[in-house]
Structure 1
Amino acid sequence: MALLPSIGQPVSRLEGNAKVTGEARYAADYDVPGLLFGYVANAAITKGKILIVNSQAVKALPGVIEVFTHENRPSLAWFDLQYADMDAPPGSPFRPLQNDRIVYNGQPIALVVAETFEMARYGASMLEVTYSTESFTTDLNANLDKAHVPKLGLAAALKPSPPKPKGDFEKAFKEAPAQATGEFYHGTEHHNPIELFSTTTVYEGDGKLTVYDKTQGTINSQLYIGNVFGLHYKDVRVIAPYVGGAFGSGLRPQYQLFLSVMAALELKRSVRVTLDRSQMFTFGHRPPTIQQARFAADSKGKLVAMKHSAWAETSMFEDYTEVVVNWANMLYPAANTKMEYKLVGLDVFSPLDMRAPGGSTGLHAIESTMDELSYQLKMDPLELRLLNYAETDDSLGRPFSSKELRQCYKQGAEKFGWTNRSPEPRSMKRGNKLIGYGMATGIWEANQLPARVQAGMDKDGKLLVSSAVTDIGTGTLTVMTQIAADEFGIRVEDVIFSYGDSNEPFAPVQGGSFTVSTVGSAIKAACTALRKKLFKKVKAMDPAFKGIDYKDVDFKDGRIVVKDNPAKFVDLIAIIAANKGQTIHTTNFSIPNVFKLKKYSRAAHSAVFVEVEVDEDLGIINVTRAVTAVAAGRIINPKTARSQILGGMVWGISKTLREETISDHKLGKYMNQNLAEYHIPVHADIHDLEVIFVEENDQIVNELGSKGVGEIGLVGMPPAIANAIYHATGKRINQLPIRFDLLL
Structure 2
Amino acid sequence: MSQPQAAVGAAVPRVDARLRVTGRAKYAADNSPDGVVHAVIVDSSVGRGRVTGIDTRAAEGQTGVLKVISHLNAPELPPVEGGFPPGEPLRPFQDDRVRFFGQPVAVVLATTLEVAQHAASLVEVAYDAEPVSTDISVADPADEPETYARGDADGALDSAPVRLDLTYRMARNHHNPIEPAGIVARWDGDRLTVWEKTQDVQGTVATLSGEFGIPPDRVRVISPFVGGGFGSAARAWVHSVIAALAAREVKRPVKLVLTRRQLYFGVGYRPAYEYDLRLGASRQGRLTASAHDIRTENSRYERHSEGVLQPGRMLYSTPNVRQAYRHVPLDVSTPWFMRGPGYSTASYAIESAMDELAHELSLDPLKLRLRNEPADDESSGRPFSTRRLRECYLAGAREFGWHRRNPKPRSTRDGDWLIGMGMAAGVYDTERSEAHASVRLDADGTALVQSSASDMGPGTATSMTQVASDALGLTMRQVTFRLGDSLMPPAPGHHGSRTMASVGSAVQDGCDKLREQAISLAVRDEDSPLYGADAADIVVRGGRLYVKDEPTRGETYQRLLARNNRSHLEAIGSYAGASESEKFSFYAYAATFAEVAVDARLGLVRVRRMVGVYDAARIINPRLADSQAIGAMTGGIGQALLEHTVTDHRDGRIVNANLADYLVPTHADMPDMKAIYIEGEDYEADPIGVKGLGEIVIVGVAPAIANAVFNATGRRIRELPITPEALL
**Category of TM-score, reference length = shorter chain:** over 0.9
The 5-angstrom pairing of residues 299-698 of structure 1 reads 299-542=283-526, 545=530, 547-592=532-577, 594=579, 598-698=582-682
The answer (yes or no) to whether the contact 1:454–1:526 under 8 Å persists in 2 is: yes
How far did 1:255 drift?
A: 2.3
| Correspondence for 1:147 | 142
The 5-angstrom pairing of residues 129-208 of structure 1 reads 129-144=125-140, 146-149=141-144, 164-203=148-187, 205-208=188-191
The answer (yes or no) to whether the contact 1:207–1:265 under 8 Å persists in 2 is: no
Give the fraction of aligned pairs with identical amino acids, expressed as a percent: 39
Distance (Å, rounded) in 2 between the aligned partners of 1:129 and 1:542: 80
Instruction: Report Cα offsets for 1:320-360 as digits up to 9, x if no partner.
Output: 00111221231111111112111111111111100011111
Distance (Å, rounded) in 1 between the aligned partners of 2:200 and 2:559: 38
SS in 1 for 2:28: coil
The answer (yes or no) to whether the contact 2:293–2:324 under 8 Å persists in 1 is: yes
How far did 1:380 drift?
A: 0.5
TM-score (norm 1): 0.95
The answer (yes or no) to whether the contact 2:149–2:322 under 8 Å persists in 1 is: yes
Cα gap change, 1:593 to 1:416, in 2 (>3 Å)? closer
The RMSD of aligned alpha carbons is 1.6
SS in 2 for 1:62: coil
| Correspondence for 1:54 | 55
Q: Which amino acid counterpart does residue 546 of structure 2 have in structure 1?
A: V
Aligned length: 724
The 5-angstrom pairing of residues 229-240 of structure 1 reads 229-240=212-223
How far did 1:734 drift?
A: 0.8
The answer (yes or no) to whether the contact 1:176–1:296 under 8 Å persists in 2 is: yes
Matched, 1:26 2:27: yes
Deviates more, 1:510-519 or 1:165-174: 165-174
The answer (yes or no) to whether the contact 1:181–1:369 under 8 Å persists in 2 is: no
Q: Which amino acid counterpart does residue 526 of structure 1 have in structure 2?
A: G
Q: Which amino acid counterpart does residue 369 of structure 1 have in structure 2?
A: A
| Correspondence for 1:154 | none
The answer (yes or no) to whether the contact 1:326–1:339 under 8 Å persists in 2 is: no
Distance (Å, rounded) in 1 between the aligned partners of 2:629 and 2:165: 30
How far did 1:533 drift?
A: 2.1
The answer (yes or no) to whether the contact 1:26–1:214 under 8 Å persists in 2 is: yes
Distance (Å, rounded) in 1 between the aligned partners of 2:26 and 2:204: 19
How far did 1:546 drift?
A: 5.2
| Correspondence for 2:708 | 724
Cα gap change, 1:231 to 1:593, in 2 (>3 Å)? closer
Distance (Å, rounded) in 2 between the aligned partners of 1:231 and 1:536: 44
Cα gap change, 1:236 to 1:570, in 2 (>3 Å)? same
| Correspondence for 1:103 | 99
Distance (Å, rounded) in 2 between the aligned partners of 1:387 and 1:180: 18
The 5-angstrom pairing of residues 11-90 of structure 1 reads 11-82=12-83, 88-90=84-86
Cα gap change, 1:230 to 1:170, in 2 (>3 Å)? closer
Q: Which amino acid counterpart does residue 717 of structure 2 have in structure 1?
A: I
Deviates more, 1:313-322 or 1:112-121: 313-322
SS in 1 for 2:362: coil
Distance (Å, rounded) in 2 between the aligned partners of 1:323 and 1:659: 21
SS in 2 for 1:327: helix
How far did 1:526 drift?
A: 0.9
How far did 1:547 drift?
A: 4.3
SS in 2 for 1:606: strand
How far did 1:579 drift?
A: 4.8
How far did 1:319 drift?
A: 1.2
Among 114, 120, 124, which residue is 1:124 paired with?
120
Q: Which amino acid counterpart does residue 107 of structure 2 have in structure 1?
A: L
The answer (yes or no) to whether the contact 1:731–1:743 under 8 Å persists in 2 is: yes
SS in 2 for 1:728: helix
Distance (Å, rounded) in 2 between the aligned partners of 1:267 and 1:583: 44
TM-score (norm 2): 0.97
Q: Which amino acid counterpart does residue 565 of structure 1 have in structure 2?
A: E
SS in 1 for 2:29: coil
The answer (yes or no) to whether the contact 2:524–2:532 under 8 Å persists in 1 is: no
| Structure 1 unaligned blocks of 5 or more | 83-87, 151-160
Distance (Å, rounded) in 2 between the aligned partners of 1:708 and 1:593: 13
How far did 1:98 drift?
A: 1.4
Instruction: Report Cα offsets for 1:107-133 as digits up to 9, x if no partner.
Output: 001110001000001111100111112
Distance (Å, rounded) in 1 between the aligned partners of 2:717 and 2:601: 17
Distance (Å, rounded) in 2 between the aligned partners of 1:593 and 1:108: 38
How far did 1:593 drift?
A: 5.2
How far did 1:293 drift?
A: 0.9
How far did 1:554 drift?
A: 1.1
The answer (yes or no) to whether the contact 2:316–2:374 under 8 Å persists in 1 is: yes
The answer (yes or no) to whether the contact 1:359–1:444 under 8 Å persists in 2 is: yes
The answer (yes or no) to whether the contact 2:683–2:690 under 8 Å persists in 1 is: no
The answer (yes or no) to whether the contact 1:140–1:313 under 8 Å persists in 2 is: yes
Distance (Å, rounded) in 1 between the aligned partners of 2:5 and 2:616: 22
Distance (Å, rounded) in 2 between the aligned partners of 1:727 and 1:121: 51
The answer (yes or no) to whether the contact 2:525–2:531 under 8 Å persists in 1 is: no
Distance (Å, rounded) in 2 between the aligned partners of 1:267 and 1:97: 16
Distance (Å, rounded) in 2 between the aligned partners of 1:435 and 1:402: 35
How far did 1:534 drift?
A: 2.1
The answer (yes or no) to whether the contact 2:472–2:514 under 8 Å persists in 1 is: no
Distance (Å, rounded) in 2 between the aligned partners of 1:75 and 1:535: 57
Matched, 1:211 2:194: yes
SS in 1 for 2:150: coil
Q: Which amino acid counterpart does residue 273 of structure 1 have in structure 2?
A: L
Distance (Å, rounded) in 2 between the aligned partners of 1:168 and 1:256: 48
Distance (Å, rounded) in 1 between the aligned partners of 2:525 and 2:78: 54
How far did 1:653 drift?
A: 0.2
| Correspondence for 1:156 | none
The answer (yes or no) to whether the contact 2:523–2:534 under 8 Å persists in 1 is: no
Distance (Å, rounded) in 2 between the aligned partners of 1:466 and 1:578: 27
How far did 1:81 drift?
A: 2.5
| Correspondence for 2:110 | 114
